[in-house]
Structure 1
Amino acid sequence: MKITIVQGAFYPVPPILGGAVEKIYFKLGQEFADLGHEVTHISKTHPSFVNKETINGVSHIRVKGFSTPKSLLILKFYDLVYTLRTLKHIDSDIVVSNTFWLPIFFRNKTKGKIYVSVERRPKWQMKFYTNVWKFRACSPMIFDLVKERLKPKYHNKVSYIPNPVPFQIKDFKTDKTNSILFVGRLDKEKGVHILIDAFNSIPDPISKNWTLDIVGPWELAEGGGGEAYYESLKSKNGNVNFAGPIYDQDALSKFYFESKIFCYPIQDGTGDAGPVAPREAMSYGCATVLSNHDCFNEYARDEINCLRFNQSSEKQTEQLSEQLIRLMTDLQLREKISLNGRKIFDDFSTAKIAKMFIDDFQTVLNE
């Protein structure tokens, strides 16, 4: 079959500037091609890339996009302009949409059936997606939320396919260090401030030989919380290392490989739907601590392959600190959580998830 993947207006592919969804579909596109399908991937232009090229069997077409603006209204306008630019490049069987406007403006059914990949909490736009053939939810939580936004007669159009772990495991020939790792955007909804406060509250006899590594962008244009939030994080002091954004997969994987503990303390109100970073960390054997947010429920098993804390509690900092202390001081517990977490890689391999997508695409084509 002919498959076209349409990425958003703000990040290029390959994902040299980050973007979890871009990273996922860059790998999925190659898996679709390996399975014998004709794949076109449309994304934003970038000075490092030509506008048309083929990478590992996938035809890449790049159209002019934008830097992420501060205003949500301007962001939607930019996304509209970008989406209209992509329309002339689409001629396919299945059109995987990762943009806000494409399901509204793409109406030519002879050039593809719209397949919406829902990677964040769905909002009011769902009721305007009347010509969509299938809504793919990236987690059970999103599956339920999409159905809530649709009339019951459209519920049969909703499917659930999880996000994959979009890389192959590598051996960096080094030992794990006493490091607690966070990877993600430095934003309040990610709970980075809660993590730093929890780490800094750990008694010195326990924490003195440990570091907290924070990897991710803080600038608004890259999805971060901005300079004021970043400065507030740095002012907390402690043995905290701000590594900045790391988009090279090998360099990022090395952080996972060398860290003993990973923490992803997202907060209530976050737009996270199926975060990839915890799965990446667990695949590399990081003993992982997660909040109780529903987006983790498809794979997170408390006290088995991770530890969890209640982000809705007024004492969440204390709860998080207690869970970190348990992993820092109890080697047997840490090794158990690490070993069970490694199984995530097989459960969510890109090859396995790609076949689930192809089966779902085929159901659309059979209608």
Structure 2
Amino acid sequence: MNRIAAPELDIRASADEAAPPLERPMRITILQGAFLPVPALMGGAVEKVWHEMGRQFAAAGHTVTHVSRSHPSLPAEEVVDGVRYLRVPGSDTPRSLAWLKVLDLFYTLRARKALPAADILVTNTFWAPLLLAGARHLGALVVSVQRMPKGQMRWYRKAACWHTVSSAVRDAILAEVPGTEEKIRVIPNPLPESQGSGDDGRLGAKEKVLLYAGRLHPEKGIELFLDALRVEAVRSVLVREGWRIEIVGPWSAAEGGGGESWMDRLRKHAEGLSVTFTGPVHDPALLRDYYQRAAIFVYPSLARTGETFGVAPLEAMAQGAVPVVSDLECFRDFIRDGVNGRIVRVEGESGVADLAEVLQKLMVDADERTRLAQAALAVRTSHAPERVAAMFLKDFALLSTLAVKVSH
């Protein structure tokens, strides 16, 4: 099987890249969606990312307010690590997309009443860019585009800028709204916490574990993963060398999963294989333990119109697990096939066989796993939260200055 060529990508961070000098403290508001709280007690990659960014902004000397859905175990208002958290009644994620938009509208209207005056307002909600674009006292409006656009970007032209997480999303936005290059900024998702440097003994402590972590949903390619494990060349290695398969994540519809009936089918699909379904794991330390144990992280997503970055593969790489991912464009921003992971075409007639071939070769070649894992650890620097926060703050300072000039 031929390796897939990836674009050249410098994943090294320069040694002197840090938060910009604090010329003027900014007031930064982060407004998240209606369906998940912050901290990410119910999961949510976007919520994890902005939780960490808020903490980084506050540590750099800025005034940060973070607005999210309320939760029974969290107070309506608190200050933690210098960030002021405000929580507004929200909802569980419904199955109906139309009803989801209605619930998000009600939530945004409630959240609008809680928003303080600010210099920057960052939001990933559907309605906020429409309802808040003219409210200058709330700050320069920054739309965080963490999903592939589905026609809505043309309605967000009044925003100061659109931040997105990968070149794949940028290209999708430009296809939808041509001529908006100057409005788009590509800033990658960070790791959820600082990771330090070096392998800290992680690679020497690896177990023979194939891990998937993320939402359990048909679009994530988990059934295809199980099919690849049944290929004789892979199955014989599983049995002979004692490899285990761990599948971590929620399957309930309320948490973005495929639902109970689909999960029942998935369990039957896994019969005869050494598979453990753990359910959702939202505790960061416990999730990190799964990544640290795993030698190989498998993420064969089929979501060509949904996957935008892949926080889970990034987190796995930071703990020395070799990523094996599908050939979605979003993964190419931080994974090079044969350099710091493997990229496989999993769709089409040969998809299962191709994935099985890659897995079998990695499972029997410890030296190759170590080589790829050592290279994968570089994301601990390239995607360190301090570095990504510095990118945002540099952009926010420019937007804030422009907003002041416009107001005068």
Which range, TM-score by smaller chain? over 0.9
Aligned to 2:100: 75
Aligned to 1:85: 110
Which whole-Å deviations, capped at 9, do the CAs of 1:311-340 have from their partners, x for residues lacking one?
232211111111110110011111111110
Is the 1:308–1:323 Cα contact (8 Å) retained in structure 2? no
Which whole-Å deviations, capped at 9, do the CAs of 1:77-104 have from their partners, x for residues lacking one?
1001101111122221100011010000
TM-score, structure 2 normalization: 0.87
TM-score, structure 1 normalization: 0.97
Pick one of 240, 244, 250 that aligns with 2:285: 250
Aligned to 1:349: 384
Instruction: Compute the RMSD of aligned alpha carbons.
Output: 1.5
Q: Does 1:334 align with 2:369?
A: yes
Greater RCO (Cα-Cα under 8 Å, separation 6 or more) = 2
Q: Does 1:144 align with 2:199?
A: no
Q: Percent identity at matched positions?
A: 38
Q: What is the deviation of 1:175? A: 2.5
Aligned to 2:245: 212
Pick one of 6, 20, 44 that aligns with 2:69: 44
Is the 1:290–1:309 Cα contact (8 Å) retained in structure 2? yes
**Within 5 Å, which residues of 2 pair with 1:30-179?**
30-90=55-115, 91-106=117-132, 107-152=134-179, 154-169=180-195, 175-179=205-209
Aligned to 1:279: 314
Q: What is the deviation of 1:205? A: 3.1
Structure-2 separation of matches of 1:268 and 1:274: 11
Structure-2 separation of matches of 1:314 and 1:103: 42
Structure-2 separation of matches of 1:97 and 1:29: 12
Q: What is the deviation of 1:299? A: 1.1
Q: Does 1:223 align with 2:256?
A: yes
Deviates more, 1:200-209 or 1:114-123: 200-209
Q: Which amino acid aligns with 1:366?
A: T
Q: What is the deviation of 1:6? A: 0.4
Is the 1:164–1:350 Cα contact (8 Å) retained in structure 2? yes
Is the 1:95–1:113 Cα contact (8 Å) retained in structure 2? yes
SS in 2 for 1:70: coil
Q: What is the deviation of 1:155? A: 2.5
Structure-2 separation of matches of 1:343 and 1:176: 18
Structure-2 separation of matches of 1:179 and 1:270: 30
Structure 1: runs of 5+ lacking an equivalent: none
Structure-2 separation of matches of 1:92 and 1:168: 27
Q: Which amino acid aligns with 2:310?
A: P
Pick one of 180, 183, 187 that aligns with 2:210: 180
Structure-1 separation of matches of 2:148 and 2:303: 12
Aligned to 1:198: 228
Is the 1:45–1:65 Cα contact (8 Å) retained in structure 2? yes
Q: What is the deviation of 1:169? A: 3.4
The 1:126–1:351 alpha-carbon spacing in structure 2 relative to 1, beyond 3 Å, is: same
Q: Which amino acid aligns with 2:245?
A: L
Is the 2:304–2:328 Cα contact (8 Å) retained in structure 1? no
Is the 1:43–1:61 Cα contact (8 Å) retained in structure 2? yes
Which whole-Å deviations, capped at 9, do the CAs of 1:55-113 have from their partners, x for residues lacking one?
10000000000011111110111001101111122221100011010000002112211
Structure-2 separation of matches of 1:268 and 1:365: 36
Q: Which amino acid aligns with 1:212?
A: I
Is the 2:195–2:384 Cα contact (8 Å) retained in structure 1? no
Which whole-Å deviations, capped at 9, do the CAs of 1:103-129 have from their partners, x for residues lacking one?
000021122111001001012111111
Deviates more, 1:257-266 or 1:303-312: 303-312
Q: What is the deviation of 1:268? A: 4.6
Structure-1 separation of matches of 2:383 and 2:319: 13
Q: Which amino acid aligns with 1:140?
A: S
Q: Which amino acid aligns with 2:319?
A: Y
Is the 1:268–1:311 Cα contact (8 Å) retained in structure 2? no
Structure 2: runs of 5+ lacking an equivalent: 1-25, 403-408
Structure-2 separation of matches of 1:105 and 1:342: 42
Q: Which amino acid aligns with 2:130?
A: I
Aligned to 2:268: 235
Aligned to 1:263: 298
Q: What is the deviation of 1:309? A: 0.9
Structure-1 separation of matches of 2:322 and 2:177: 38
